[in-house]
Structure formats: C-alpha cells, structure tokens
Amino acid sequence: MTIPFNKPYLSGREEEYLRDALQSRAHCGNRTYTEKCIRLMKEKYGFGEVFLTPSCTAAMEMGAMLADLSPGDEVILPSWTFSSTANAVVLRGAKPVFCDVDPKTMNIDVTLIEGLITERTRLIMPIDYMGIPCDMDVISAIAQRHNLMVLEDAAQSFHSYLNGNPCGTHATMAAFSFHESKNLSCGEGGALIVNDPALVERAAFLQEKGTDRSLVIKGLRAKYGWVDIGSSFLLADLLAAVLFAQLEAVDEIVTLRSRITAGYYDLYQPYADKGYLALPIIPENVLLNHHAYFVIFDTDENQQRFLKLCRDRDVYPFRGYLPLHSSVMGRKFGYQPEEVPMTEALSERIVRLPFYTDLANEGLEICLEAMRAVLQELYGC
C-alpha cells in the first residue's frame, strides 16, 4: 500500500452541496454557500469579519493591501514559511525582514522580533507552523508597544486554539488556507479574517476589485463604482459549497487526525528520549488541530537516509519548506544563509511525516510499521 504525503478527505456531503450550488445558477462569490460558511465560522469561532478568498495566498495579498503596505515599509516574518507569506509583502513593494525560528515548534522566535524592528516596520506576519499557534500573546504585546499591525498566516491552523481562543481571533487579521493539503479543503480556497471593525468596509472594497459593490448589495448605493485598489479576491460559491461540507465535519476530521499524532508520538518519542531526534513540543495552552507532524533528525545524512528508506517502502514523508532568506529571491534582498542560522541548519534535518485524515482509518499501522523498520535501520534499535 502506498502512503502518500497528503490526500484530501471527503466528509460525504460535498457532492450534494455542490449539486445544489450548481442548480442555484448563482455560482460567483458571496452567494448562498459563502454566506453559510461565513455564518458557521463566525458563530463557532467568534471571528470578526470573514472574507472567503481563492486561496490563503490571495487572503494575505488582500491583508497586505488592507495594512496599507507601501514601498520602503518593512515586514517581519519567519524565513521558515511558504513563498506566499513573503510575496504578499513584496507585491506591495515592501521589504521582508526574516526572523529565525524556535526549534521547539519551528514558529517565529518571539525573543528575536524586537531586535528586527526599525522605524520602517509596519507589520508582523507570524505563521502557525504545523497548526501550532505561535505565541500571539507576546507578538501582540510587541505589536502594541511599537504600534504595528499583525497579520497571522494561519494557513495551517484552522481549528487550533491558544488559551482557549481559536486561531484567527488573536491578530488584527488572519489568513486561512483550504488548499487540498490542509485539514479542510475545497481544492483551492482561503479566508481573510478581519478583526478590526475599522478595516471591514475597505476589505469588502478590496475583495470586489476595488469597487463599492458591497454597499449596493446592502442597499446603501444604487450603483457601484471604482473607489479603491483591489482585485478579484472572491471564492466561487461552487467551491464554498464544498467547503461548507468540510466545515460541518471539522470536529470529526480533527478527532480522526488526532489518532495520527498519537501514533507518531508513540513511535518517535523513545528515539527522542535517546537523543536521536527532536519532536515538536506543543505548549500546554495549545489545543492542536492535528494538521501535521515533524521530526528533526540528528544529522543531515540521517534526514536523507530516512527519506530514501521510507520511499523504498512506498511511504512518502516530505522535506518541507526551503528557507526563504537563502532562496533565489531571499538573496535578491541581500540575505546570506548564515544570517538566519537556526532555520538554515534545521532545514537540512527536518522531515514532515505523511498526514491526511483518511490515514487514521486506513494505512496508519502500515505507515508506522514501515517507519519502525526504517528507524531500526538508522539507529540499530
């Protein structure tokens, strides 16, 4: 049996809702299923305002516009993230300032943020790697002290909680992903959460190509016109129908995925205890959405051997990100690999394990058995 890195889950109602959305003949953004998704998210999680977008990438681009980033501004973000986080900054003409990570979670090292703030800093963009919320209490306090906004890249952390509050509620804005690799998927999709009421009206303009169409829909204007910059930041209602089926099943999805975390923890913890590798350390005030699981090997060679030996057994863990600061684009901004040293070093030793909801029902034992054999081969125990 092949164990892929990822496979999207079907909760069972996707086809019914998709057919319904098709037959409604109202397929574009902000229609019935979008409204259902938004209502569910606001009621269940207490988000400020929700804008469904074509991706998390689009949500962050919209967030960067809403933060009024402009050329010369600086934005602090981890190097250990996807290109989308940095692109949202660069597309506004602003400069990404890369921060190192805390190896316990691979999230931004909050002790380093203040040292990177200059008079040009406008925004902090932390990401919740693996669905582990970053330390938003500390980040929010720093932002407040320096009068900065926070846009949380919560691509991976939908339905994770920090101090009892869901990801998406902690920052000025947050961006979620509903890409097929995430816990909830509609193929490609995302959401921008806007928690500052002062930003909500403008967010609606940006989402609708810079027009005030939202005011026409509310009956406040007879005609709409071009009032701002913007783009087409809307998720088609057809995809919102698929997303709604997934949102309804979120508790079941997270429960199934928790079995995978437990399986990996039981297998790998004895090796961590012996000092062969390191595992994520989940802070006590966190409730996890079980999005992913990483292992940091003792050496680069063991990372490579682990990946190969797993592949030989038809199991497909994945190396994950390449650091942004030492990428082709990062170097264009003047970065050298040694400037973000923890990220640079750990990127050669980290592996993300296969993680998808169906694995809990089929294949988990096979996957664990294969990895047990690989670890035995690597460490002789």
Ligand X SMILES: Cc1ncc(COP(=O)(O)O)c(C=O)c1O
Please, which of residues 247-276 interact with ligand X by CB under 6 A?
Answer: none
Alpha carbon distance 154, 134 (integer Å)? 10
Q: Which of residues 80-119 bind ligand X (CB under 6 A)?
A: 81-82, 84-85
* Residue 289 in the binding site for ligand X (CB under 6 A): no
The secondary structure element, H or E, covering residue 22 is: helix 14-23
Q: Which of 79, 107, 156, 302 binds ligand X (CB under 6 A)?
A: 156
Pairing of strands 121-124, 149-153: parallel
Contact between 177 and ligand X per CB under 6 A: yes
Instruction: Name the one residue in this structure whose structure tokens are 């949380």.
Output: 152
Q: How far apart are CA 131 and CA 127, in angstroms?
A: 9
**Of 9-17, 150-158, 229-237, 291-299: span binding ligand X (CB under 6 A):** 150-158
Does the protein bind ligand X through residue 53 (CB under 6 A)?
Answer: no
Q: Which ranges in 156-249 belong to alpha helices (H)?
A: 197-207, 213-217, 237-248
Matching residue, tokens 């071009």: 226
Give the type of residue at 220. L
Query: Parallel, antiparallel, or unpaired: how do β-strands 49-53 and 190-194 relate?
Result: antiparallel
Torsion of CA 23, 206, 248, 35, to 10 degrees: -50
Work out whether 56 is an interface residue with ligand X (CB under 6 A).
yes
- For ligand X, the closer of residues 127 and 309 by Cβ is 127
Residues 120-139 that bind ligand X (CB under 6 A): 127
Q: In the window 184-223, what residues touch ligand X (CB under 6 A)?
A: 190
Which of 125, 41, 38 has the alpha carbon at shortest distance from 90? 125
Applying CB under 6 A, which of residues 61, 153, 212, 237 lies at the interface with ligand X? 153
Residue 107 CB, nearest approach to ligand X (Å): 11
Residues binding ligand X: number (CB under 6 A) = 15
Nearer to ligand X, 82 or 268 (CB): 82
Which segment (20-28, 77-85, 282-290, 308-316) binds ligand X by CB under 6 A? 77-85
Residues making contact with ligand X (CB under 6 A)? 55-57, 81-82, 84-85, 127, 153, 155-156, 177, 179, 181, 190
